[in-house]
Amino acid sequence: MRVSCTAPYVVLENATFRGPSGLVFANSNLRLCPGERWAIAGSTDSGTGLLLAALAGEVILVEGRLRHPFLEGDPRFVDSVFGVLPPGSIATASTNQHRQLLLAREFHQLRWHGSFTTGTARVREYLERGEVEQRNPFAVTGSEGARRFERARQREIDRFELTPLLDRPLVALSNGELHCLLLARALMLDPGLLLVDEPFAGLDAHNREALLEILDDLHADGTGVVLATAQPDLPEGISHMIEVQEHQIVYAGPRREKRAPGARRGTAVFAHDGLVAAAPLVEFRDVTVRQGAIILLDHVSFTISPGEHWALVGPNGSGKSTLLSLILADNPQAFANHIRVAGRQLGPGCGIWEIKALLGWVSPELDTHYPPDANALDAVLSGFASSLGVYTEPTHEQRAAAVEWLDRLGLAAESDRPFAALSTCDRRLVLLARAVVHGPSLLILDEPCLGLDQSGRERLLAAIEAAALALHASMIFVTHEPSEIPTTVTKLLVLESGRLRHAGPRADWQG
């Protein structure tokens, strides 16, 4: 449904909301009107996503008013604040929804264990009308509504190229694939107002360009769009912006350029106290991985030598996460392929934990699944056992090493704080300390900067580069942002549709 009137999409009148830790956005006044394209900008933990949820009526309103005037003439309208919203009204795609889908994996390696995914929800089921519209299963619905939904469903499946994913378990999707799924699901509602948190997180260049075109089409079609982002560079079409600092609106009006301050890369100084593993460090020989009839990796061969720093790149769904899961010994198909880490191959005489002892790992999934009540020091200590929590008494030497790494990363004062209470950047730094505390031979960094603002990215990347050099460790760095690739990276692995397009010097890749 499209609304042709000029009524505002959202109006805040002296509104104050209650967030998870107290009152937020106190005494806010705001009008988002047709013809305007808004972005909510701020640092990673400033509250951009929370304000987006508040505009949708998903945060408790303590004082003042929140209205959605564009809906008030709709005879199907029940209540735009904590009510039942009909299709054609408001739809959201948020990082919280993404997080909930990740948490549906009862353990973070679940996506690779086919026997455990039997009976779990598939993408096709997640995109059924009852799921998308969150309908009462006993509600009486007309045939016209069903036809409308099916048209919208097929349109978004085509736009986001989801057909190959329809029969895959939700738990088996990559970050980028999950993000496309949430965007498509929101747009199946044909909303008059679309609210998107971190719209480009985890998307490759192709999907980013496609999403920009979709947003342009929505604007031309009369749909309101509000984006929330911690990134400094806003899409060109944005005409108005809301700046948020410490859960308060500090500016709302026509777009103005504002870049977050960034830390200088490569300024940290670390002691060189690591050990070098035997060569070759990683060896893949003709590796093929299938999930049912789908080939995830197709005859992939490459080697990584000690001390080399590699970037792993490729489109969403190209096989990057599958490749990492094999090195991390999380994927059972590692047993069926020639994969060696520091001369060791999974099988008789070499178990999973022997491989993991050589590795350090950071990823958004690890951030999501790490026990929220564990304090920062225990999170670092868990790196010695590659566990999510500390289950044996650490030695004096282990505790000293964990304390030292927290101090090196500027987190000594945070050692007793619960993991969930840390800022997003500090959580990633704690996970970096966890990854390096046991002196690994290889660091695997899977989109470590996802969701961080510019300042946070610069801080984390400087720490990553310095930590890898301190350990003399090899590195595999995964990203969709070329600007994030550490300056120490000289080699490139390029995957496309499960096939290896390039494995060699970064300067030689012409793609």
Instruction: Tell me which of 99 and 222 has the higher pLDDT.
Output: 222
Q: Residue 269 domain-assigned?
A: no
| Cβ-contact 104, 208 below 8 angstroms | no
Domain shared by 203 and 352, yes or no: no
**Position 119 confidence tier, pLDDT thresholds 50, 70, 90:** low
Co-location of 429 and 335 in the same domain: yes
**At 160, which amino acid appears?**
F
Q: What is the DSSP string of 348-369?
A: TTB-HHHHHTTEEEE-HHHHHH
Could you read off the pLDDT of 193-203 as tens digits, one per residue?
Answer: 999 999 998 88
> What would the pLDDT profile of 285-313 be if each residue is shown by its tens digit?
999 998 878 899 999 999 999 989 999 99
Other C-beta atoms lying within 10 Å of the C-beta of residue 309: 23
**Domain stop point among 220, 235, 250:** 235
- Whether 19 is covered by a domain: the verdict is no
* pLDDT for res 317: 86
395 within a domain of the structure (yes/no): yes
Question: How deeply is 136 buried, as exposed, middle or buried, from its count of CB atoms within 10 A (0-12, 13-18, 19+)?
Answer: exposed
Clarify whether residues 224 and 121 are in a common domain. Answer: yes
Asked whether residue 460 carries a pLDDT value surpassing 90, the answer given is yes
Give the tens place of pLDDT for each residue, 335-391: 889 999 988 888 777 888 888 899 999 998 899 889 999 999 999 999 999 999 899
Beta carbons within 8 Å of 73's beta carbon, 6+ residues apart? 3, 5, 7
Instruction: Verify that 220 and 101 share a domain, yes or no.
Output: yes
3-state helix, strand, coil in the chain (%, to 5): 35, 25, 40
Q: Do the domain assignments include residue 249?
A: no
CA dihedral (58, 98, 206, 45) positive or negative: positive
pLDDT given for residue 108 in this prediction: 53
Determine the pLDDT at residue 111: 53
Q: Which of 188, 204, 235 lies at the terminal end of a domain, its last residue?
A: 235
> Are 199 and 327 contained in the same domain?
no
Q: Which of 68-82, 243-257, 429-443, 483-497 has the lowest mean pLDDT?
A: 68-82
Q: Please tell me the distance from the alpha carbon of residue 111 to that of residue 172, in angstroms, as a whole number.
A: 4
Is residue 292 situated within a structural domain?
no
Does pLDDT of 59 surpass 90? yes
Q: Which domain holds residue 186?
A: 36-57+79-235
Residue 126 in this model has a pLDDT that exceeds 50: yes
Q: What is the pTM of this model?
A: 0.79
Chosen domain end from 218, 235, 252:
235
Amino acid at 381: L
- pLDDT tens digit string along 469-503? 888 889 999 999 998 999 899 999 999 999 999 99
DSSP structure class, residue 122: B
- Asked, for residue 68, whether it belongs to a domain, the answer is no
CATH code where residue 327 lies? 3.40.50.300
Residue pair 194/171 in contact (Cβ under 8 Å)? The answer is: no
Same domain, 348 and 210: no
Same-domain check for residues 456 and 332 = yes
Q: CA 255 to CA 252: how far, in whole Å?
A: 9
Residue 480 included in any domain: yes
Lowest-pLDDT choice from 90-99, 244-253, 404-413: 90-99
Task: Say whether both 177 and 301 belong to one domain.
Answer: no
Q: What is the pLDDT of residues 176-185, one digit of tens each?
A: 888 999 999 9
State CA 434 to chain mean position distance: 20
Average pLDDT value for the chain: 86
What does the DSSP 8-state code read for residue 113?
A: -
Contact present, 382 and 425 (Cβ < 8 Å): no
Query: What distance in Å separates the CA atoms of residue 16 and residue 63, rounded to the nearest whole number?
Result: 5
Pair (377, 490) in one structural domain: yes
Q: What is the mean pLDDT of residues 429-439?
A: 96
Summarised one tens digit per residue, pLDDT across range 240-277 is 999 999 999 999 999 987 544 444 344 333 333 333 33
Instruction: Based on the fold, state whether residues 503 and 355 are members of the same structural domain.
Output: yes
Please determine, for residue 121, whether its predicted confidence score (pLDDT) is greater than 60. yes
For residue 135, name the pLDDT band (cuts at 50, 70, 90): low
pLDDT tens-place string over residues 23-55? 999 999 999 999 999 999 999 889 999 999 999
pLDDT for 74 beyond 50: yes
Same domain, 363 and 497: yes
Q: Would 426 be classed as within a structural domain?
A: yes
For residues 93 and 189, membership in a common domain is answered with yes
Q: Coil, strand or helix: which one is 406?
A: helix
Domain count, the chain: 2
Average pLDDT for residues 205-233, to the nearest whole number?
90
